[in-house]
Amino acid sequence: MNPSQSMVERTVGHAAHWVIYHPAVPLGIAGVLALLTLIANWRIFVRAGYGGCWSLLLLVPIANLFAVLHLAFVRWPVQGRRAKH
C-alpha cells in the first residue's frame, strides 16, 4: 500500500481488483449473455413458427448444430401458412 494514495484511491483500487478477479463476476457476465442469447433465439424460433423451446437445444453442445441446421434448411411452418393465404 502506497502511503501517498488517498483513501478514495485505495478504496477504488480495491473495488476494481475485486470486480476483475472475483470468480463470480465472469460467471455472472457469461450467464447474462447466455440468457440474452437464449431470449433472442427463442423469439427467432417463434417467428419461424416453431415452439420457443427449440432454443433450449442451443445450450446442448451437439444438439445446437442440428437445431441451427434444421432452422436453416427446413421449410418453416410460417412459410406454409403464408402460402395458404
* Packing angle of the helix pair 63-73, 24-48 (nearest 10 deg): 30
pLDDT value of residue 25: 80
32-60 pLDDT per residue, tens: 999 999 999 999 999 999 999 999 999 99
Domain range spanning residue 13? 7-84
Contact in structure between 43 and 58 (CB atoms under 8 Å): no
Residue 72 lies in a domain: yes
Q: Measured in whole angstroms, how far is the alpha carbon of residue 67 from the centre of its chain?
A: 16
Which is more confidently placed, 64 or 26?
64
What is the tally of structural domains in the chain?
A: 1
Residue 1 lies in a domain: no
Residue 2 lies in a domain: no
Mean per-residue pLDDT over the chain, rounded: 83
3-12 pLDDT per residue, tens: 666 665 666 6
Phi and psi, residue 34, nearest 5°: -65, -40
Contact in structure between 41 and 50 (CB atoms under 8 Å): no
When pLDDT is averaged across residues 68-85 and rounded to a whole number, the result is 83
pLDDT value of residue 24: 82
Residue 39 lies in a domain: yes
